[in-house]
Structure 1
Amino acid sequence: MTSSDLRHHGDVDAAPGLADFAVNVRVPHPPDWLRERLAAALDGLGRYPSKPAEERAREAVARRHGRSPDEVLLLNGAAEGFALLPKLAPRRAAIVHPGFTEPEVAFRDAGIPVEHVLLDGDFQLRDVRSDADLTVIGNPTNPTSVLHEAARLKALPGRLVVDEAFMDAVPGEPESLAHDPDVLVLRSLTKTWGLAGLRAGYFLGDPETLARLAHGRPHWPVGSLTLEAITACCEPEALEQSSGFAKEAERHAAYALEQLQDLVVVAPKGPFLLIRAPRGTRQALRDKGIAVRRCDTFPGLDDTYLRVAIRPPEEFAVFVDALRVVMEEQA
């Protein structure tokens, strides 16, 4: 699989004019209170991002996860975090697949050997054998929507990097390792808060590892609006709202599973689900104005798999109706 294939993401599938079930962003724009916070910060764009603003953001993240500020590295979205991983210079990196492909691209581009740990069937972790000295896995995993047990993650070989970009969509975050000082955890704020265009995320890890990752970044690596967004989204009121969103997402996932039970590969734990349908289904849905994420760009999957973003029932019904028509036409 080429780097071009691995760099295919849902935003490419979600062309203008299509009903978007391809991109895993909860809402099309930030909530009003967050938009107001960002708008208020616009007057400061004539100044460079300040050290106090960066410290406030790091402190907010640290409080949110029970860590110290020196265990937080602020990022321009989780994608930047993946791009920094080669600085850890592993001898060999293992990527658990099917999974998000950006870390593999980053290691390949840096000339670091990459090993696929391919999960099949129900995509659960069992006896993973590898001689890699660094392992990357998503939890919940994109695109399978599997939530792995923290104890099984800790048994993976080498230094562990866990992509928890969708963990805040899981009520109570039961399998999160964000509190664990021995694990490098990557978080994103863009999915829950409708900030995909702004880019906002962070690493949690030990200070020495974070210093290695940060070495060589340009001055002012994170912009003022991103600092404001990180601070705002980690405050108690935002966390309470996020918790409500997660419970709502769980109800929506149950509805989606009920509607598509025969096609769903694994019961979803994230805000998206993996289905299996006849070849040609994605294009047939597209012809009817529906965008879903192709999955043959994920190692271990082929073009019979599709990832579908879970939406509120009234929106998801549009997808279900279109899929039923397509399936009838293909029968």
Structure 2
Amino acid sequence: MSQKLDSKVAVIGIDIGKNSFHIVGQDRRGALVLRQKWSRGQLEARLANLPPCLIGMEACTGAHHLSRKLQTLGHDARLMAAKFVRPYSKGEKNDYRDAEAIAEAVQRPTMKFVAIKTADQLDLQALHRVRERLVSQRTGIINQIRAFLLERGIAVRQGLNLLRAELPGILGTRTDVLSPRMLRVIEDLAGDWRRLDERIEGLSGEIDALAHHDKGCERLMTVPGVGPIISSAIVAAIGTGDAFSKGRDFGAWLGLVPKQMSTGDRTILGSISRRGNRYLRKLFVQAAWVVLVKLGPEQWERYGLKSWIEAAKKRLHHNVLAIALANKLARIAWAVLHKGRAFEYVKTNATASRSA
């Protein structure tokens, strides 16, 4: 690019690919002054020669690493969710039009941007994703073993630990029902199950150690129902929570709030939206069930949840109550992370009079 053209570029939209990147640049008036295709090796070198620009990209694989690189070069790199970029696309889809839509979207003053993750966050996120995949594979193996046993008329009570305890006895004594071939198949599956258990336990231990050495995770673990897995997943997903202005936004991002289909003076609420981070939403729902099932009224009182839970129990189905509590825990977790203080319930005169 010529030096004259370099000085005109103020905003750049980058459509990220595996090996090639489509670049569209605009000047301060919004006119198109750059439209090129660069290789991965050319991108950093060419952008290093440009004056500081506003650069937009969709939040996808490789975008966080590239954003950190561009920020070190002095550019203002910002990431956006793909669904927020789509309305700015004009005409049929191609890579240049996608890059132009990104350049248009990144300039919007009301655009919601994705926080750029650090390398440590990405490492922690990778541990969680590998662990989630292994847990899913283990569940598939367990279900397959149960199905094969049911095919031979052997039913085992529900529960991972119950099947683990009863399986050796079944394989050793039910040779009248299980053929030698089926015995071998189930023994091989049981071996796969043991190996997955070892890998999951190793990853869980590594996540646990990282969580206990991170101050944000330690503060999050003071929230009821939140342990090393959930706390580290939160930190990996949102860092310090600066991308959200309040806990309600975090709960909405997790998809723990009702869908809105409102118009005019009518407010119509449906089931939960299930948008955002599915893995983190699942963990918060599990945390809510831990609070409801394993913690008693005394623990609820300690965390300041007793009056809320008892009042909600009277009007909500237990599944709806779990979702509502998950949303409440998510909002508490965001406040703990964002304000940098451990969760502590302080009983005021107002709460004392309500509970009396």
TM-score category of the 2 structures, normalised to the smaller one: under 0.3
Decide which structure has the larger Cα Rg and report it: 2
Q: TM (normalized to structure 2)?
A: 0.25
Compare relative contact order (CA 8 Å, sep 6+) and give the higher one, 1 or 2: 1
Higher share of residues assigned strand: 1
Q: TM (normalized to structure 1)?
A: 0.26
Higher share of residues assigned helix: 2
